[in-house]
Structure 1
Amino acid sequence: MTMPTWREWLFSAKALLAALLALYIALAIPLDNPYWAMASVYVVSHPLSGATRSKALYRALGTLLGAAASVAIIPTFAQQPLMMSLAMSAWIGALLFLSLLDRTPRSYIFMLAAYTVPLISLSEVNHPATLFDVALARSEEILLGIVCASLVNAVVFPSRIAPILGARMDRLLADGREVAARLLASKALDAADQATLNRLLVDVMGLDGMIVQLSYDSSSHLPARHARDFRARMAMLIPQLVSLGDALQAMRRELPQPLPELAEYLQQVALWIDGSALQVSGRQLQERSRQLEVWLADEHPRQALAIESALRQLRALIDLWQDSIDLRQSFADGHPERSPVLHYRVEQLVGGPRYYDHGLLAFSAASVALGVFLL
């Protein structure tokens, strides 16, 4: 069992402070159920200020929408229990389906609008005349908790998401350097390298949620576009490294003996990726690669195709790595006067349409709606 870190202690203390503040205000007003305000604080709280702000905003909107739906559905079908159950189930199923379609924090609006209806309505289904007062009180209690959580998180040691995202970027680059160094040192990837690639893939996928929350971090004006471009290129780093490894292995098998010029060039590229060869630029390495390709093809015509394939993959890696470094620097700079010139083209990965299994999403939403109807 590991002890919590100081960040976890700080988050716990801030959540407790916000909960006590919400409870105090709810008791002082007083509200009917002060514990709802206290519970709402823990529902919307998040270690990152931007994530708390987005959850608070969309939970508030979802709560108001759900309360309005409760006031519209319950009195209308108060004398028709079957129609009331059908209307409530249809509302929940439709809103949950919309929440599953939206993979941004905005989905919280639809999810809360769906679940707020039964939370408010089921306790007052036999007293429709008092439903409006209950919905209003419940909304006040939830909104009070949301406001307290957002206020405390924004004032008391706010946690910006940009430095954490920057640290994740640095870790991705470090993992990429480790694998690239082994490939360029004439070594095949072993189990440890495969584990590094798997960790790299998991970390790349983990950037998505942080990049989405970046726009809600009011203390940060960093361009999210640079973060998305960086994420796209780091996602391409894994297949690019694998392709380069295969091409290098094929070339080494066909060559009768190791070529000192090629080994020296690969070592130079490895030092450049590691950051040790500061006097060499990516453009110079690209030019040297083309010159080496022409010379080696003339010297070894039978292995020309393998040499060309390996050096072409190496040039792609250089472009990819140069873009990643430039985007990381642009992200750290905040608002650079101009965006970096990118060489590795991955437009199809940036902002492209995502795949949705509409059948599975509809089945998931319909299952919940059917469960509510049967209850």
Structure 2
Amino acid sequence: MPTLRDLVFSAKAYLATALALIVGFSQNLQNPYWAVLTVYIVLTPPESGAIRSKALFRFFGTIGGGTLMMALTGLFGDQLGVLVTVTIGVIAGATFLRQIDRTPANYLWFSGGVTAGVVGLTNLMQPTNVFDYATARMGEISLGILAITAIDSLFWPRPMTPDFVATMADWREQAGAWVVDALGLTATQSLDEQRRQKVRQGLRDLAKAVGAIDAKAVQLPFDIVAMAPRGRTLNLVRRQIVELIADLAGIEIWARALRHDRTLHTDLGRSLDAVTVWVADAPDRSDPATDTHVARGDALIDELETARSALDPALGRVVVMERGLLSRLVAFVRDWSDLSLALRAIETGRRLPPRLDRMARRAKPVRSVDYLGAALDVAPMVLSMTFTTLLWYFTAWSSGGGALLFSFVGCVFLIGQGQILRSSAGLLAWVLTAFGFVFLYQYAILPRVTDFPVLIAVLGCAMLPFGLMMTMSMAGMLICVYIFAFLGLQNAYAADFNQSLQTLSASLVGLLIAIACLYLCGYDHARFAVRRLVRAVRRDIIDLARSRRVPDRERFLFLAIDRLALYFPAAEQVSAGGPIARLRMIDDFGIGINLLTLRQIEGDVSPHVRSIILRLRERIATSYRSKLAETPDDSALRAMVDADLEDPAVLAEPAHGRLLEALVGMHLALEDEHAPPPGEAIP
């Protein structure tokens, strides 16, 4: 059922549409319906920050796409075949850039590609019209952008920052509860592996916050609040979220290693209780007690580091595990405090402390990019447009240009969305429904309504329900898009029945070709993404092992967590809503982090121990190359790690504390992979 927010969305869209049409018709613009289409697309999602950022991207994308097509037409206007090929190349390039950019900024490439496609493909047979058509479209799109931003600013603006802060508060609450559960794995009653499964599932859910922050970091600086968050502050929040997820993954591994079959050191329980109490006492949102809580965190860090220093790793592997857990808890407390201060700065507009401000300036997001996946997503569009072009060339069909345009439009809204093609018949039904409304408007309403206010009122009878449909289903968005696309391709002031039928036939043929190519090039996006992400993490570990220079910790960490954040939703789709089959991503992450620690201390150890680390690196590279070849065998690597842990030279090394922690951490990850618990084994 429609909610109040849905009704507000529909009302704002109608008001912006009325404003755009009043200006467009009064100024005798070529086709004001392009402005209306812009209103409905830019208004989704309905938050003010998203609308403003999307409007900006739409403006620059439209200007860029239109200008580029004018330049290309000036160069190749007398060579139709070359012009068609170059236009398809521009559209494919823009769509490829859109697919590799996972943030809302990809709308810049989307709008640029759409503008290039509409301007170029609509005027292929009359290239002399490109300049007039492109400038008219730029003006009409700009009108729609101004209309929706003005209406949104004046009527029911919906700020994003409070929702974002509330979402982050919920995330911190979940993370705090997760830490308590994970530390509870050390208790003697932690015999049930189902509880451990629950803890790991919680870690997966927490990792999904990275994608949400990537979206909001683009939109929040445009928010309609007194002090909009700065981009670098949002980058700092993302950085701390990534650091915390890495801390939590480490806590889970080390705490699980110390469960019921281990003998804990007498002082460790006191440290675990102190962390649990500190997390439970964390203030909500931008509470004035935040500074006090952070000061308590600093004192807790000192206490944990003192407890860690008091443990001699030479006393045995259990003590080394306790040191490892305490190290992870120190990092967790520090990162938790930094995140609290960053979120307070976002909510209140206060400046960051100098130390965090310096971190924020360096906190550039590192994201995983799958170029092959983007190319496979673009392939059906290129195939569809190429086939339609050949059909047009060999049949000399008068509406071939229109079919080419709708072949492009049919693909551009559907690529990368594997679930959209469940019902091709339904998709065609929405197109026919949209065209039915266009016919009704052009031949039953427009000729009989001569007063503009009455026309706006009549249009409201359709636009208000359409606005509600857009918020409730994909079908509503497709109907709105095709209605105003059909209107935009025809004369805005006089209806031509033959042109309307040609547009309908061209759209249906182009859409059928697009659907056929999408089916032909279709593949299981989720399974493909899972396999690619797993292979990417394993290649990263090979690079860590073989690199001549010591790799950058933050780059590996941020890239690995970003891939984990992408992996979990894809793995859930593969498992069809059931338990996620663990494809060793968390274990591989543990191997990588501990290998990175070995690389960082490699230059500070004796030559003999350095040679031990070098042999271990070579073995890790060999093991992970076998995993890439789908012939995994970690027995030799496990044996080497266990032998190194017993090596007297390692135990006698002055820097043996961090060295032993890294080796034990690697041992735990390999042991976990060797014996997966029930429910996580791969079928």
TM-score higher than 0.5 here?
A: yes
Per the alignment, in what secondary structure is the counterpart of residue 356 of structure 1?
Answer: coil
Preserved contact between residue 95 and residue 110 of structure 1 (Cα < 8 Å): yes
Moved more, 71-80 or 110-119: 71-80
Query: Aligned-pair distance for 1:69?
Result: 3.6
C-alpha distance 173-32 of structure 1, shift in aligned 2 (>3 A): same
1:331 matched to which residue of 2? 346
2:165 matched to which residue of 1? 166
Query: Aligned-pair distance for 1:362?
Result: 4.8
Percent identical pairs in the alignment equals 27
Query: Aligned-pair distance for 1:177?
Result: 0.7
Distance 1:309 1:254 in 2: 18
Distance 2:112 2:328 in 1: 51
Letter in 1 for 2:135: L
Preserved contact between residue 47 and residue 159 of structure 1 (Cα < 8 Å): yes
1:222 matched to 2:229: yes
User: Aligned to 1:250, which of 253, 257, 279?
Assistant: 257
Distance 1:269 1:243 in 2: 15
Which stretches in structure 1 are left out of the alignment for 5+ residues? Answer: none
User: Aligned to 1:235, which of 239, 242, 247?
Assistant: 242
C-alpha distance 216-252 of structure 1, shift in aligned 2 (>3 A): same
Per the alignment, in what secondary structure is the counterpart of residue 351 of structure 1?
Answer: coil
1:264 matched to 2:281: no
Distance 1:105 1:256 in 2: 51
Query: Aligned-pair distance for 1:252?
Result: 4.8
Distance 2:273 2:322 in 1: 16
The 5 Å alignment of 1:303-314 reads 303-314=318-329
Query: Aligned-pair distance for 1:71?
Result: 3.6
After superposition, the C-alpha distances for 1:109-146 in whole angstroms (9 at most, x for unaligned) are: 33323222331343433334444333333333222111
Moved more, 98-107 or 203-212: 98-107
Per the alignment, in what secondary structure is the counterpart of residue 11 of structure 1?
Answer: helix
Letter in 1 for 2:207: L
1:351 matched to 2:364: yes
After superposition, the C-alpha distances for 1:332-372 in whole angstroms (9 at most, x for unaligned) are: 231326345599x9999x32544434455455556534533
C-alpha distance 191-6 of structure 1, shift in aligned 2 (>3 A): farther
Preserved contact between residue 233 and residue 360 of structure 2 (Cα < 8 Å): no
1:374 matched to which residue of 2? 387
Distance 2:88 2:274 in 1: 65
Preserved contact between residue 222 and residue 334 of structure 1 (Cα < 8 Å): yes
Distance 1:109 1:307 in 2: 50
Distance 1:226 1:267 in 2: 32
Distance 2:9 2:168 in 1: 23
Preserved contact between residue 223 and residue 335 of structure 1 (Cα < 8 Å): no
Query: Aligned-pair distance for 1:21?
Result: 1.7
After superposition, the C-alpha distances for 1:303-356 in whole angstroms (9 at most, x for unaligned) are: 43233222222222222222222222232231326345599x9999x3254443
Query: Aligned-pair distance for 1:256?
Result: 4.0
1:32 matched to which residue of 2? 30
Moved more, 75-84 or 114-123: 75-84
C-alpha distance 224-275 of structure 1, shift in aligned 2 (>3 A): farther
Letter in 2 for 1:228: N
User: Aligned to 1:284, which of 299, 305, 326?
Assistant: 299
Query: Aligned-pair distance for 1:159?
Result: 2.0
Q: Computing the radius of gyration over CA atoms, which structure comes out larger, 1 or 2? A: 2
Moved more, 90-99 or 68-77: 68-77
C-alpha distance 60-351 of structure 1, shift in aligned 2 (>3 A): same
C-alpha distance 77-40 of structure 1, shift in aligned 2 (>3 A): same
Preserved contact between residue 9 and residue 46 of structure 2 (Cα < 8 Å): yes
Letter in 2 for 1:206: A
2:60 matched to which residue of 1? 61
Q: Which structure ranks higher in relative contact order (CA pairs < 8 Å, sequence separation ≥ 6)? A: 1
Query: Aligned-pair distance for 1:93?
Result: 2.8
Distance 1:92 1:354 in 2: 24
After superposition, the C-alpha distances for 1:53-91 in whole angstroms (9 at most, x for unaligned) are: 222122222223333344444466455332221222232
C-alpha distance 19-61 of structure 1, shift in aligned 2 (>3 A): same
C-alpha distance 16-80 of structure 1, shift in aligned 2 (>3 A): same
Letter in 2 for 1:238: I
C-alpha distance 64-309 of structure 1, shift in aligned 2 (>3 A): closer
2:422 matched to which residue of 1? none
Query: Aligned-pair distance for 1:149?
Result: 0.9
Query: Aligned-pair distance for 1:7?
Result: 3.0
Preserved contact between residue 104 and residue 215 of structure 2 (Cα < 8 Å): no
C-alpha distance 81-210 of structure 1, shift in aligned 2 (>3 A): same
C-alpha distance 127-328 of structure 1, shift in aligned 2 (>3 A): closer
Distance 1:63 1:50 in 2: 20
TM-score, normalised via structure 1 length: 0.84
Letter in 1 for 2:52: R
Distance 1:17 1:198 in 2: 42
The number of aligned residues is 369
1:43 matched to which residue of 2? 41
C-alpha distance 211-341 of structure 1, shift in aligned 2 (>3 A): closer
Moved more, 18-27 or 116-125: 116-125
C-alpha distance 196-251 of structure 1, shift in aligned 2 (>3 A): closer
Letter in 1 for 2:201: A
1:204 matched to 2:210: yes
